[in-house]
Structures are given as structure tokens and as C-alpha cells.
Amino acid sequence: MKSQERYVSTLRNMLREWRWILGYVNRYRFTVLLYIILGITGTVMSLGTAVASKFLIDAVVSKYDYKLFEYAAVTVGLALFQFVFSAAASWISAVIGTKVNNEIREEIYSNILKSKWEDIHSFHSGDLLNRIEGDAAAVSNGVISFIPGAVTKLLQFFGSLIIVLYYDKVMALISLLSAPFLFLASRILIKTMRKYNAASRDLNGKVISFSEESIRNIHIIKAFDLTASYINNFRKTIDAYRSVKLSYEKFSVVTTFILSVIGLAVSYACYGWGVYRLWQGAITFGTMTLFLQISGGLSSSFSALASLVPSAVSIATSAGRIMEVTSYEKEADGDRGLALEILEKSKNSPVTVCMENVTFTYSDGGSAVLNNVSLRASSGETVALVGPSGEGKTTVLKLLLGLTEPDSGTITISAGGEKIKVSDSTRRFFSYVPQETGMFSGTVADNLRAVNASAEDSELLEALEQTEMADFIGSLSEGIYSQLGEMGGNVSAGQAQRLAIARALLKKAPILLLDEATGSLDPETEDKVLRNIMTHNPAQICILTTHRESMLRYCDRIYRVNSDGSVTAADFKTEL
């Protein structure tokens, strides 16, 4: 009974996933229709070639000289045209297939980036990459190839069946002897193939995640002499993937062998019946040849229809994995108009950011990280958040950025007599320097202009001056157009931090968030950078998290984030 329930549940999930895929089919309906037309044309030509061959052989055997050239020309012409048509169809398929695949990948990527941070951050980047690449390819193939292929195979099956029925009904019945076996096998195929496909996709994601993460941190692996250990762990990961793949392949080989034996038996039965009918004189040599071609095609087309089951399962599995990461609520920038209006007013009016009675708990956590928190910062003020690691300082910044939403309480920004609730729309008010700097591959200028695409070279140099990086960047052969490695790998941690601060300053936002942003700087450089920031834009609000006492002397107020999730105003004398 439980087995039956699981089977029904599996079918329901597959139907749901295929309904989702059909949305793409509808979008690309003209492309799908073109593929169907190409498939039908190729099938008709193939059947036509088989029939023409029958007449050609009969003409040769019967010595119909006056028909011989005509039938030969038709047969050869159809065969040549089929080759040309097949080549053209393959090229059209490659052009359209690449376009559709790229569009689906782009849409999945866009959906992931637009999803709320708290929903999507639990997925490993390697797993997400696997879904963007591998699963997207499977779905795009399903959209433009699976349905046209199914239609073509159905046409080939019924076309072959009609031709055989026309010449010999018994031959048609013999050709369909494998049908009951294939029908009974489909149930086992669906359950087993879905299980192996899901496990294979998940493990492949783990392989990608492990290799991506270890290569990104290769300097750590080498520094701790962990090379052999990581190679061994990678081997274990790919061995687990290999084990699942081999189990799947074993199942496929056994299944294919059984179905092939059944197909072979049916083919020999057809062959024997044809020989018997030829011996009786009931059919001609041409008809015998046609039987062998068409009956083989009939049996193979039915087998091909049965093989669509594992393909459908694989495509549906990939669709389900994509649906998992694209079904979350999207950030819609719903308050864009009001945010832009208040942002414009902030140029000439004081800005205030305020948290009132905010409580927040992570969706995968237990107790509240922040509990009934209230704090305020206004234009020209520098506010520090202090406290032990992991107690919620960075969470406060994430709430301000609208990356997460409070369970209760309000967070607002006001300027010019107007107020707006913090959301994805209010990120325009903030510049942000994270702990990990977040440098990208590309030039120094590319990284800085990421937040201000229209910035002139002089503005970039000004931001670098403020962060004490101008001399270093100027010493490079290509200056601001020098290349940075992945994650800023070819500059020091302190230099990467200063570049991240320069990028934030270039945005020229009214509120600057610094999350342990000077942790890799020596005291003298830290002092210069912070003084430059304070003096260059004295009206800017600066909210920073820190463990360093040296930074507190620049602050107007200090808030301590406590282990119970509360936030209290701290005394300067106590903290310094």
C-alpha cells in the first residue's frame, strides 16, 4: 500500500513539474512547432524511402526495365535529400537550442539573484551553479526536443503500423508483441530512474561545491598542509557520485538488455513470418524487404517511445530542482518611487535611520538573535555596534539593508519630512563594506564603478585617495585599469579592504555601513582612512561594527549587542 502511495506521489510531482515545463513550451511554441515540422518531415522521408526501396527491388526482380530508373532515382533522391535535410535540421537545432538554453539559464540566474537573501543563502554556491548549468540544460532540452521528439516517434510508430497493416495484419501484431512488457516496465522505470536522477544531481552538486570551495581556498589548504587530506576527501566525494552513477548504469544496462532481448525476439519473429510468407508466394521480395525495414522501425519506434519515460523522469527531476530555487518570493523594488523621492530630499535635508523595538530570529534558528532592539542614527553621526562575535552585530546591518525582515518592530529612514520603511527599495540609501570585502575579477576601475557606472576616472582616484590606496594603485603599470584576481587574490587583505571602502565611498550614499571594515589595517592606516571618511562627507551617517577599541574614539554613540539579543547604550569610559 505504501509503495502504491509513493508511486502516486511520484506521478503527482512529475505532473506538477511538467506543468511548469509546459509554461516554457508555450513561450517557445513556434520553436517547438518548427522542431515538430522538421521531425515529421524527416520521418515521412524515411518511410517514403522504405516504400520506394520496395518498388525498386520488385522492379529489379521482375525486370521492369522501364520502371527501374524511375524507382532508383526516387529512392536515391529521397536518401540524398534525407542526408541534406538531416544536416540542415541539426544546424537549426544547434542555433535555436543554444538560444533557448541561454535564455532559460539567464532567467534562472535572475530568479536566484532576485530571491530574498534569507531564502536563498542556505544553498551552496556550487549547488546553485549546478542547477543553473546542468539542470537548465536538461530543461531546455526537454522544452525544445522532448515534445517534438515524442511527436516524431509517435508519427513514426503509427506510420510504420499503418504501412505494415496495409500489407500484412499478422506482421503488425507480431511487431507489437513487446508492447505489454514495455508497459509493465514503465512503472519500475519511473520510480527507480527518478530516485537515481535526484541522487545523481545532488551528488554532482556536492562535487562542484567541494571543488569550487577548495580551489577558492587553496592557499589555506597549502598553508595547513592539507593537500593530501583534501585530495582524499575529493576522491571520496566523486566515489560517492560514481557509486550512484554505476548503480544507475547497472539498472539501465539490465533494463536495456531485457528490452533488447525482447525486441530481438520480436524482430526474428517478424523475419520468420516474412520468410514464411515469401515461401508461400504471398509476398514479393520487395514487400519482404519493406517488412524487414518497417517492422524493425515499428518495434524500434515503440521502444523509443518507451525510452521517453526515463527522459521524462530526468527532465522533470531537473525541473523540480530549478523550481526549488526559483519559487521563492522575489524582491520587487515596490517602494522605488518613494525611495527615490526621499533620497533626492536627503541631499539637502538631514537623514535619520531608526530601529524601534525590533526582534529578529533566523528561519533556521531557535532563540531570537535580536530582542526588542531600538537604536537611532542621524546625519553627521558615527555609531558603533560592539559585542562578542556571533551575537548579532552583522545581523543589525543585514536588517538595515533589507536583506532580512524583523519578526516585529519597525526600521525606517526619514528625510525632508517623509519616512519610508526599510526594504529592498531603500538599499539606495546605503553604502556597505562587508567583512569579506567582496572583490570581483576584473580591473580596479571595474570593481569601483560597479556601484557608480558613470563615475569619472578622477572620482575613482579621489575615492582611492581617501582610503590611502592612490599611491599603490598609481605604482601599478596600468593604474586603475590593472587586473584584480578572483576575490582580490593578488592584493593583500588590507589593500582589498581599502578598495572595498573606496567602492562604498564612490556610491556617495547618505548612510555608510562598515562591518569590521578595518580589521586588516594597521593602526596608523586605519586612523588615516577613518579621518578621511569623516572629513570628506561630514553629513554622512556611519554605522560600524568593530572589536577594536581604536575605532570608538571616532564615534558619537556606542551600542553594545548582548548575548541575550538586547542592545544597550554603552559608556565610552567602559568601552575605551
Q: Exposed (0-12), middle (13-18) or buried (19+): which is 456, by Cβ within 10 Å?
A: exposed
350 touches 379 (CB < 8 A): yes
Instruction: At 81, give phi and psi (nearest 5°).
Output: -65, -35
CATH code assigned to 338-575? 3.40.50.300
349 touches 419 (CB < 8 A): no
251 touches 196 (CB < 8 A): yes
338 touches 428 (CB < 8 A): no
Is 0.85 topped by the overall pTM? no
2-326 and 338-575 share one CATH topology? no
Give the span between the Cα atoms of 412 and 541, in whole angstroms: 14
Give the span between the Cα atoms of 422 and 402, in whole angstroms: 6
Q: Per-domain residue ranges for the chain?
A: 2-326, 338-575
Among 1.20.1560.10, 3.30.499.10, 1.10.3720.10, 2.60.40.10, name the CATH number for the domain at 2-326: 1.20.1560.10
In degrees, to the nearest 5, what angle opens at C-alpha 270 toward C-alphas 269 and 273? 85
Tens of pLDDT along the chain (576 residues) come to 555 666 567 677 778 888 888 888 788 778 778 777 877 777 777 777 767 776 766 666 666 555 666 767 766 776 777 677 677 767 777 777 788 888 888 888 888 888 888 888 878 777 888 888 888 888 888 877 777 777 777 777 777 777 777 777 777 677 666 666 666 665 566 667 667 777 777 777 778 878 877 777 776 677 767 788 878 888 888 888 888 878 877 777 777 677 667 766 766 777 677 777 777 777 766 666 766 666 666 666 666 666 677 777 788 888 888 888 888 888 888 899 999 999 999 888 999 999 999 999 887 667 788 899 999 999 999 999 988 777 788 899 999 999 889 999 999 999 988 999 999 999 999 999 888 877 787 888 988 888 888 889 999 999 999 999 888 888 888 889 988 877 766 778 888 889 989 999 998 899 999 988 887 888 888 888 888 888 888 889 999 988 777 778 888 889 988 888 888 887 654 554
